[in-house]
Structure 1
Amino acid sequence: MEALLASIGFAAQVLQLEGGVLQGRFQFLSSQRMALLRLQSSLGVSIGCPRKDELICCGFEIEGKPDVVLVHGQPVAAHAIAGVSLALSHSFFQFLSGSDVVIALLPKQDLLEQLEICGGQQCLRWMQSHNQLLLHQQAHQTLVELLLHWMADPSAIPSAPTAAVVRLFNDDTVDGAVPFRRVMRFQLVFDLIALGSRGAVEGLDLDQLADRLSCSRRSLIQGCKELLGMGPKEVLRIQRLEQVHQALLRHDPKSAVAPQTVNAVAERFGFQSRGHFAAAYRRQFGELPAASFRKRA
């Protein structure tokens, strides 16, 4: 998933938040005019990345279920478009178990121009300070069906897909907006995850992490709890397990860091105790690390 998002310029961090065997489906479509993603997940998953200023991220829970998707720690309402705020520098989605989501990445300038043309002045005002817009149920259903049709048949995408989307997303089809409950510490969580991705946290305790992030210990703990439902040390542990998981599945004979043994990979990411590591890995991914290693491509 991270590699696919990187192909369109997003440096995403993906974390499996719940332990167990992750089942579901991930679909991805990218063209010169837009990108579409669909994620069905049996377990909680978090995706965070810096936004690209030229794109708007519009997310839809396919069946319009409330509270199975969170954006910046805030549950998405039934039949809402999420992620539409013009003021955010980062996107941060959490998909809870049973979620089925499609995300459309649309050119921002096209979207703003089409809203002006199609009578979306109130929508534009809401997008300045809100991150969810509430669609009529029928408009939501029709828009989701349109996006899924394009994913199934990319040749059906029109030359101006943003205009087709905005015909179902304007002042006539939007009922209102959800007040944005800003989680002010989300930047700390992003910075913590960025540190972990660089391997710059090994051996640091909470006070040292807070000092590295120029924040208080309390702010760091509260930020992680509000956004991810766990403490910062647990976030970093899950991240390291995910790094091990990807390294075990990846096989590139030309790579200087191609995995040779499970223990070597575990040690590279800071796991020293073989027994504790294997048990934690199994709780997280539903299998022993050796089983993942045998699956490597």
Structure 2
Amino acid sequence: MIDISNMVTFQQRHFKTLKSFLLSSDIHGYAARDTLDALLVECFMRPDNISTAGIPLSNRAELMRDLLNYGFSNPTEAISLETLSKTLLKSPSSITKASREQFGVSPMQLLKQIRLQQVQNLLTDPEQQQQLGTLSIHAIAKRFGFTAPNHFARDYKTMFGENPGQTFSREKA
């Protein structure tokens, strides 16, 4: 027997957003690819009227969408929770609770992961490095808001299992 509670529903309104995004002429780069991935996920979300964990799904989904959009739209900025709260017009505790429930990490960790992913994308794309004039690991890390080289290298290795130099050298070879 099929358990209906586990089924997803195609969300027409999210599909319209996805379609307009795909038809726009300014889609390029990794941020666009990440936004496209997020929109595809939204097309198959559970219906908005279902709630879980005390927060209506529609409110939590909207907040997490805004958080992800912020992260992908501003990958070069390290931001404080207080500033993020003012930007998203939600309390720090609401953002933190929703992020931990949805992604299992704090909003600041999530934003850092987005920035680290952007670093990895650029480290593996010599053509984009040339276009942006970021030909060193330090320049790439700095471009995405990482100003402390040791902390950056530690966080990168924790997330990807190798240091940034290994990723960079592999792509140069």
Q: TM-score w.r.t. structure 1 length?
A: 0.41
Residue 271 of structure 1 aligns to a residue whose secondary structure is coil
Q: Provide the identity percentage.
A: 26
The equivalent of 1:268 in structure 2 is: 143
Change in 2 beyond 3 A, CA 1:223/1:280: same
Of 74, 79, 90 in structure 2, the residue corresponding to residue 215 of structure 1 is 90
Q: How far 1:213 moved relative to its partner?
A: 0.4
Aligned ranges 1:2-41 → 2 under 5 Å: 9=22, 11=32, 13=34
Give the strand-richer structure, 1 or 2.
1
- Other-structure match for 1:50: 39
Say which one has the larger Rg.
1
Query: Residue 262 of structure 1 contacts residue 290 of structure 1 at CA under 8 Å; is this kept in 2?
Result: yes
**Displacement after TM superposition at 1:287 (Å):** 0.7
C-alpha change, 1:226 and 1:274, in structure 2 (3 Å) is: same
User: Which structure: greater helix fraction?
Assistant: 2
Q: Distance in 2 between matches of 1:52 and 1:233?
A: 22
1:263–1:200 Cα change, 3 Å: closer
- The one-letter amino acid of 2:38's match is C
Q: Deviations over 1:236-285 (max 9, x none)?
A: 11111111010000111795215411111000001111111111111110
- Structure 1 residue 50 displacement after superposition: 2.4
Unaligned runs of 5+ in 2: 1-20
> What is the CA–CA distance in structure 1 between the aligned matches of 2:107 and 2:156, rounded to whole Å?
18
* Aligned equivalents of 1:200, 1:237: Cα separation in 2: 9
The number of aligned residues is 142
Distance of 2:129 and 2:155 partners within structure 1: 30
Helix, strand or coil at the partner of 1:50: helix
CA distance in 2, matches of 1:218, 1:202: 21
Counterpart among 56, 60, 64 of residue 185 in structure 1:
60
Q: In angstroms, what is the RMSD of aligned CA positions? A: 3.4
8 A contact 1:251–1:259 mirrored in 2:
no
Unmatched segments (≥5 aa) in structure 1: 1-7, 15-46, 58-82, 89-128, 130-178
Aligned counterparts of 1:291 and 1:200: Cα–Cα separation in 2? 22
Residue 289 of structure 1 pairs with residue 170 of structure 2: no
Q: Does 1:241 align with 2:84?
A: no
